[in-house]
Amino acid sequence: MGEEENKPDVAAGKGKAGSKKFIILGIVVLLLAGGGYAGWNFFVPGKFLKKGDEVIAKTGESGQAMKMAPGIMHEMEPFIVNLLDQDGRRYLKTTIELQIGNKDEEKELVERIPQIRDAVLLLLTSKSFGDISTPEGKIQLRNELIARINQVLQRPTVRALYFTEFVVQ
């Protein structure tokens, strides 16, 4: 008789353990669903824009978004430079394209290619691998290049700069 009394207790214990597993499984599923939803909203917000939506290029100093008008793209010849590292064994090969406003601005840009290449080369050789290895470093380099190129030109002509090739070895 003693053995028969123990059997219902064992069955009751299994029932409690099963319900705890079910609750834990439910919580895990909810957490995964919430994480998936948060990831979707964080990483994929702009993929399903309508055709008429504005393209936001950058934010001005006043904090208002500026709309980027289409411009002319000018591809520069590749740049190959040694980076400023202690051992001097790293180099950067990059190709950039400059977005400018109109044909007159492109004419001035083409006339000043030697000065522009010189300014870009001097800036690139002043960078170390640590300066340009992160995405933030590349964005900072892009902004510095735009400013440096616009200093060479008579009026600020370069609206945007795009890295079409960026290899560090």
Torsion of CA 2, 4, 7, 12, to 10 degrees: -90
Average pLDDT over residues 89-99: 93
Superfamily of domain 69-168: Band 7 domain (3.30.479.30)
- Range in 19-23, 137-141, 148-152 with the lowest mean pLDDT: 19-23
Cα angle 93, 106, 104; round to 5: 170
- Range in 3-7, 32-36, 95-99, 132-136 with the lowest mean pLDDT: 3-7
pLDDT of residue 30: 87
* Start-end of H helices in 44-153: 103-111, 113-125, 129-132, 135-152
Residue 66 to residue 106: CA distance in whole angstroms: 22
Residue 116 to residue 149: CA distance in whole angstroms: 6
pLDDT of residue 69: 59
Cβ(113)–Cβ(64) under 8 Å?
no
Q: At what angle do helices 113-125 and 135-152 cross, to 10 degrees?
A: 150
Q: Name the percent of the chain lying above pLDDT 70.
A: 73
pLDDT of residue 151: 93
pLDDT of residue 14: 59
Query: Is residue 96 predicted with pLDDT exceeding 80?
Result: yes
Half-sphere exposure of 81 toward its Cβ, with a 13 Å CA cutoff?
22
pLDDT of residue 67: 54
pLDDT band at 49 (very low <50, low <70, confident <90, very high): very low
Average pLDDT over residues 79-95: 89
Average pLDDT, the chain: 80
